[in-house]
Amino acid sequence: MHLDPFELHRPTTVEEAHRLYAERPAGADYLAGGTDLLPNYKMHLNLRPTLISLDRIPELARRDGARVGAMVRLGDLERDADFVGRYPGVARALREIATPLVRASATLGGNLLLETRCFFFNQSEFWRASLGYCLKADGDRCHVVPQKERCYATFSGDLAPALAVLDAEVELAGPGGRRTIPLLDLYDRAGDGIRRTHLRPGEILTSVLLPPAARERSATYSKLRVRPSFDFPELGVAVAARIVDGRATELRIALGGIETCPRRFDELTTPLEGAPLDGPRRRELAAAVQAAVRPVHNTFLPPDYRRRMVGVYVRRALTEVVGATAVP
C-alpha cells in the first residue's frame, strides 16, 4: 500500500506553517503523528497535494503542568508521572488508546482532531469504488442513513470525553490571531458531519489547558470495544465530580464513540448539583443519558447494543466516581 506523491514541509514556527498553508490554494493537511492521517492517505481518503508536518515547531511540543502542547506524543504523556498523578482519569483514557506502538507516534492534538470513522469510509479505494463512494469521500450519498445532506461517521477519540469532564480548553492559532475556547466548542455538532470542527482555515490546535478545578475532581474513563488491546471505541464514557464532605458537585458526564462529535450532558447533570447521588438516582441518570443518544449502524457493534451499553457504562462510572461517597 503506497502513498501517492505529495509535497512535504517542516516549518519551525506556527507563523511559517500558516504561510505555507495559505500559499497552497490546492489544499494542504497539517501532519501530526501520522497514525490516523497516513492510513487514510494510503486508502486514498480525501488526499491533499501538500502535507505540512508540525513536528519541528517547539511551541507545540511544550509541557508545563496544566498546559500540554498538541504535538506531545501520547507515549510520552503516559510516562509523565506528574501529568498522570494530576489527571488520573485522562491517564486511564490515554492507556486505552490503540497500542503502545501507535501511542509512540500519535499526539494529543491528533487524538482530539481524529478523523471520524465509519464502515463505509475506512475502506480501501477498491472496496469503496465497488459499492459506490460515500458522502464523506468522493461520493454524494450516505450509505448509513441514505440521504445526501449529512455524514454520520463516528467520533472515535478517547481523550476528548476524558478532558471534557475536566472542563479543558484548547488554544488555537490561526492566521488571523489566537484564541482559547472550551474543548467541546471545537466540535461542530450542528454541521454536516463532514466539517466536524469550528477550526478556521489554516488554524492550528497548539495546546490543551486544564483548569485548576480539574485537579480537585475524581474522574474515570471506560471504553467499550471489540479487541481490548487495540480497537477504537464503540463507546467511551468519562465521568468526573468534585467530592466534598461526602457530596458530589461539578458532576460531568461525556461520551465519545457514539455520535459525530464528543458530547457532554450538562442538561442532565446540572439540575443534580449537590443532590445526593444514591443508587436509584444514579440508575435514573444513566437511563436518561442512554435515552438521549442515537448511535447509527456504522461501526462493528449494533447500534441498539451500543445504546444500551451507554446506560450500563454510565451507571458503572457514576458508581466508581460518586458511589463511595457517604450520601445522606
Toward other proteins, which CB reaches closer, 46 or 319? 46
Give contact residues for other proteins (rule: CB under 8 A): 1-8, 10, 31, 34-35, 38-39, 42, 51, 53, 55, 75, 98-102, 104-105, 229-230
As measured in angstroms, the least distance from the Cβ of 72 to other proteins is 14
Q: What does the alpha-carbon distance between residue 57 and residue 71 come to, in Å, rounded to a whole number?
A: 9
Q: What does the alpha-carbon distance between residue 255 and residue 221 come to, in Å, rounded to a whole number?
A: 10
As measured in angstroms, the least distance from the Cβ of 194 to other proteins is 22
| Sheet strands side by side (includes 247-256) | 218-224, 235-244, 247-256, 263-264
Q: Both ends of the chain: CA-CA distance in Å? A: 61
As measured in angstroms, the least distance from the Cβ of 43 to other proteins is 8
Q: What does the alpha-carbon distance between residue 151 and residue 58 come to, in Å, rounded to a whole number?
A: 36
As measured in angstroms, the least distance from the Cβ of 26 to other proteins is 14
As measured in angstroms, the least distance from the Cβ of 38 to other proteins is 5
Return the axis-axis angle of helices 303-322 and 279-292, rounded to nearest 10°. 150
Toward other proteins, which CB reaches closer, 4 or 267? 4
The C-alpha cell 447533570 sits at: 269
Q: What does the alpha-carbon distance between residue 125 and residue 19 come to, in Å, rounded to a whole number?
A: 32
Cell, residue 203? 488554524
**What are residue 60's phi and psi, to 5 degrees?**
-80, -10
Q: CB–CB of 142/151 below 8 Å?
A: yes
- Taken as a whole, the chain contains a residue count of 328
As measured in angstroms, the least distance from the Cβ of 75 to other proteins is 7
Toward other proteins, which CB reaches closer, 3 or 324? 3
Toward other proteins, which CB reaches closer, 42 or 67? 42
Q: CB–CB of 232/284 below 8 Å?
A: no
Toward other proteins, which CB reaches closer, 2 or 148? 2
As measured in angstroms, the least distance from the Cβ of 127 to other proteins is 14
* Residue 255 CA: distances (Å) to CA of 19, 79, 185: 36, 25, 15
Toward other proteins, which CB reaches closer, 41 or 152? 41
Toward other proteins, which CB reaches closer, 8 or 181? 8
171: part of which helix (H) or strand (E)? strand 169-174
